[in-house]
Structure 1
Amino acid sequence: MGKREELIGRYADDLENKCGMTPDMDLLRKVTIGCGPSIYNADSSTIAASQPGELETVKNNFLIKKLGLSDGPSLMDGLNKAIETYGQSERNKYRPVVYYMLTKHFGKESVYG
């Protein structure tokens, strides 16, 4: 099993056990691949949810640029909901897991079609 498949397994485990969701493995794999090499870097593989600048970056680079959503209060609401679902106290919020939840929340699975 390759490193990426190992990470996808870890992300699926987080979605099931920490977020209470049954992951669509095909979509999770595509979201993970879409994150590129950032998943292999300790700093960029996670989201620092307590830093407002980090949340703005996720909003601008993922929600607006990648998913093609229009800027508005609903974006931060969705992002905060995903962080809350993952658990505020959860130290490692993996980027692909948060991106997966956001993709599902906003119904943008077609971006990864």
Structure 2
Amino acid sequence: MSDLAEKLAKLKETAEGQLKECGVSNVDQELLESLVNRLRTMVDNKDATLVSGKDASELETVRRNFAEKKLGVTDKDKAMAAINKVAEKMSGIRMKSRPAFYYLVQQELS
């Protein structure tokens, strides 16, 4: 397995663990795989693979770059409500995996 493949596998494994910790018993592997693969160019940047649930500018970036651009949710209040709900749900996890965070946001908005 290449170095990149190993890092992506570790990222996916971490995300799966965090999703289970948040009560997701049946993880949609295809969705999670696509979220992990979106980070393949940033996998070496530890900060890019994590989300700070208490940083308002970070949460706004999630809204703009994921909820709006990737999911097409233009209602800012609806998107931020989902993002804040996920941040609260994951509040017990110190280093929140970006794929897990995005997965939960996508679930909240669908």
CA deviations on 1:2-53 (whole Å, 9 max, x unpaired) are 321222112111111x211121112111111123323332111111121111
Give the alignment's TM-score, normalised by structure 1: 0.83
Match of 1:60 among 64, 68, 72: 64
Contact preservation (8 Å) 2:63, 2:76: no
Correspondence for 1:100: 103
- What is the RMSD computed on CA atoms of the aligned residues? 1.5
Note the 1:1-113 alignment, pairs <5 A: 2-16=6-20, 18-22=21-25, 23-86=27-90, 88-107=91-110
What amino acid sits opposite 1:11 in the alignment? A
Long gaps (5+) in structure 2: none
Long gaps (5+) in structure 1: 108-113
| Residue-pair matches, total | 105
